[in-house]
Homo-oligomer: A and B are copies of this chain.
């Protein structure tokens, strides 16, 4: 069965980083600068299916991601979600574990000639806040994050 997350995890042009078990791809929605998706490299449908090594690796990855976004763009704090709703639009559902990483900012950040804002800071993120950046700016964002990754 076709899996969008398996496909997305292989789209290397969007990749920020990968570990043994996870790939981090930049989200196509940069409404929150640095928004990313953390995708399990193998097809498994629920958090309860994670193996201890995958879970342990995720913890390390979270630390690296948060540190990198603080350093690269001065992110203030982070929202994490693990939802998998879309996969249940199909019958049978075919979910694939992934997490959404939404950096939040108590200040504006100008990058690539775009002013990124978070007027809902300290509140639930605004699902209507969508910014599509050019492939060029996307690569600049990835490069900027990678500069600070794991440092």
Binding site for B on A (CB under 8 A): 46-48, 50, 52, 55-56, 59, 62-63, 66-67, 76-86, 88-89, 93, 95, 104, 106, 121-124, 127
- A50-B59, A121-B88 known; A79+B76 contact, CB < 8 A: no
Pairwise interchain contact B127-A77, C-beta atoms closer than 8 A: no
Question: Chain B's nearest CB lies how many Å from the CB of A146?
Answer: 19
Docked pose: A80 CA to B38 CA in angstroms = 14
Docked pose: A66 CA to B83 CA in angstroms = 13
Pairwise interchain contact A59-B52, C-beta atoms closer than 8 A: yes
Tell me which residues across on chain B come within 8 A of A46, comparing CB atoms: 66, 77-78
Given contact pairs A52-B56, A79-B85, A85-B121, enumerate 9 new A-B contacts (beta carbons under 8 Å): A46-B77, A47-B59, A48-B62, A48-B66, A55-B55, A56-B56, A81-B83, A85-B124, A88-B106
- A55-B56, A56-B55, A59-B55 known; A123+B85 contact, CB < 8 A: yes
| Selected A-B contacts with CB under 8 Å, 26 pairs | A46-B77, A47-B66, A48-B62, A48-B63, A48-B66, A52-B59, A55-B55, A55-B59, A56-B56, A77-B84, A77-B88, A79-B83, A79-B85, A80-B82, A81-B81, A81-B83, A85-B104, A85-B121, A85-B122, A85-B123, A86-B122, A88-B106, A88-B121, A89-B122, A89-B123, A124-B127
